[in-house]
Amino acid sequence: MAEYVVPAPKRRRGRPRAGESDARERIVAAAVEEFGEAGYDGATIRAIAARAGVDSALVHHHFGTKADLFSETVEAPMRPDLALPEILAGPRDRVGERIVRYILETWEQPEVQRRGVVLLRTAVGNKLTTPLVAGFLSRELLSRIARALEVDDADLRASLAASQIAGLLIARYVLRLPALAEASVDDLVARVGPTVQRYLFE
């Protein structure tokens, strides 16, 4: 009587194969190179996978989206793209305030602030990291907001808003300018929010 052999289950696309235990590390190393050379906008999952010598599905399996991979690569302390639905909810004329509040309230968390300050110090002093951080903030949060609300010159508006927010974070958490460091979140939201609103929509 012939022995019945149970067929092996089909491998799901993107799952690690034997000998790929270091795939995650290779993907991160490849992402660092690709982001550094192409910038956030220019880097693609396909190009990163090619550098790492893996299928692009494996990159998605380990990290999900490009934003997820970037956050892992630079250890980003926050994910503004995930907050987008909440920021867009409510009156359009208060979007600037909601952006500033979301960012500041997130940065007031001790662990986020610790990692964020390290990232900002690195960004300011590194010609490769600076455009990556700016590109991530602009593309994953501000440009999406501007486009979702159908305004002209969305990329320029998003970059201007990003410059305002980046300057605020550096002044408050890195340079720790006394008046800014001591100001309440509510006060800063009331003062900076309208400026971000104007950059994005007026």
Instruction: For 80-114, write each residue's pLDDT tens digit.
Output: 777 888 888 889 899 999 999 999 998 898 877 87
Cα gap 112→11, rounded to integer Å:
38
Name the 3-class secondary structure at 82: helix
Look at residues 32, 24, 200, 47 and name the one whose alpha carbon lies nearest to residue 132. Answer: 32
Question: Where along the chain do its domains lie?
Answer: 23-74, 80-201
Average pLDDT of span 2-6: 43
Query: What is the reported pLDDT for 99?
Result: 92
Burial 63-79 (b: 16+ CB within 10 A, else e): beebbbbbbbbbebbbb
80-201 maps to which CATH number?
1.10.357.10
Mean pLDDT of 11-38: 69
Task: Inform me whether the pLDDT recorded for 179 exceeds 60.
Answer: yes
The per-residue pLDDT for 45 is 94
Pick the CATH number of 23-74 from 1.20.1250.20, 3.30.360.10, 3.20.20.70, 1.10.10.60: 1.10.10.60
Query: Whole-prediction pTM value?
Result: 0.64
Name which of 81, 77, 89, 100 is nearest 199 in CA terms. Answer: 100
Confidence of residue 190 (pLDDT cuts 50, 70, 90): very high
How does pLDDT run across 123-178, given as a tens digit for each residue? 665 555 556 666 667 777 777 777 777 877 888 888 888 889 888 988 999 889 99
